[in-house]
Amino acid sequence: MSALSLPAKPGGTWRGPVIASAILIATIVMCLPGIGIGVDLGAIARNWQNGADKIVKLLQPDWGFFPRTIPPLIETLQMAIIATAIGSAISLPLSFLAARNTAPHAVARAVVRAILNVVRAVPDLLYAAILVAMVGVGALPGILALVLFNVGILVKLVSEAIDTNAVGPLEAGRAVGATQAQINRTLALPDAWPAFANQALYVFELNVRASTVLGLVGAGGLGLLIDAVRTFYRYDQLSLIILEILIIVIALDAVSSAIRRRLV
C-alpha cells in the first residue's frame, strides 16, 4: 500500500504579506519629516479643541435658513442635469473614437486619447475659475466646467468598457463590407449602451457633489451660498446645507441603483 501523498502547497502565499509590508513601509517613509511630507500628529492634540467647537456648531442646524437654500439647491440640480446631458452626448461618439475595437486608426485614436488626457489633467475647480473669468459669475461657467469634467471621465470609462467587448461581431461586420460608422452604430453601440448608461448615472451623482464645490469660485449653485455662510462663520447654516446635500446624494444613489438594475 503506497503512502498517501499530500498535494503541494500553493505557491505565492508570501506575496500578500510582502506587498502589505512594502505599502506600510512606504507610507511611514512618506510621513517622515525631511524625506516625506512631515506629518505632525501632535498638531491634532494641540488643536483638537478648535475643531471640536466647529463640530458642535455643525450639529445644530439653523432650520429657519431652509427657505434661503431652495433656489440655489434647485440651481445645483439643474446644473448637474444639464452638464450630464451635454457631457454624455459629447462623450458617446468620442468613446468610440478612443476605443481600440471601434477606432482601428491608431494615430487618430492616440490623438483623441491625448486630448482627453489633457482634459482630465486639469482640475474642475481650475476650469470653473477660468470660465468665471471668461463668462462671469453664475451657473454657465459651472455647467461648462462640469461638461469638461464629464467628458474626461466618461470617455475613459466607456472606451475601456468597449475595449473589453467581444470583437467577433465587429470583425463579421468588416468582413461583409460595412463601414466603421455602420459597425459602430449597429454592432458596437448595443454592447456599449449598458456601460455608457451606468457611467452617465455615476457622473450625474458626481456632478451634484462637484457643483457645490464649483460655486466656491463663483460658478453658481449651492457653492455660492456655502461660501457666503462660511465667510460669516455661520456653521449652523452650513450644517443645514450639508444635510440637504447628503439627503440629495442618498436619494440620487437610490434612484441610480434602481435605474442601473433595469438597464445593466
Residue 224 · residue 72 · CB < 8 Å: yes
Does residue 222 or residue 20 have the better pLDDT? 20
What span, in angstroms and rounded, lies between the C-alpha atoms of 139 and 13?
54
What span, in angstroms and rounded, lies between the C-alpha atoms of 91 and 259?
20
**Model confidence at 21, in pLDDT bands (50, 70, 90)?**
very high
Residues with Cβ < 8 Å from 21, sequence gap 6 or more?
none
Q: Which three cell numbers stand for residue 152?
A: 474626461
DSSP 142-198: HHHHHHHHHHHHHHHHHHHHHHTS-SHHHHHHHHTT--HHHHIIIIIHHHHHHHHHH
User: Tell me, what's the pLDDT at 2?
Assistant: 55
Query: Would you mind telling me the total number of residues written for the chain in this entry?
Result: 264
DSSP letter (8 states) at residue 21: H
User: Tell me, what's the pLDDT at 261?
Assistant: 77
User: Tell me, what's the pLDDT at 88?
Assistant: 92
pTM score, whole prediction: 0.77
Q: What would the pLDDT profile of 150-198 be if each residue is shown by its tens digit?
A: 999 999 999 988 888 878 888 888 888 788 888 888 888 888 888 888 8
User: Tell me, what's the pLDDT at 10?
Assistant: 67
Examine the pLDDT at 263 and tell me if it is beyond 70. no
Q: What domains are there in the chain, each with its CATH number?
A: 70-261 (1.10.3720.10)
Does residue 3 or residue 120 have the better pLDDT? 120
User: Tell me, what's the pLDDT at 246?
Assistant: 87
User: Tell me, what's the pLDDT at 56?
Assistant: 83
Q: Which three cell numbers stand for residue 178?
A: 460595412
Q: Which three cell numbers stand for residue 148?
A: 469638461
Q: What would the pLDDT profile of 224-262 be if each residue is shown by its tens digit?
A: 888 888 888 888 888 999 899 889 888 888 887 888 777
Q: What would the pLDDT profile of 252-261 be if each residue is shown by its tens digit?
A: 888 878 887 7
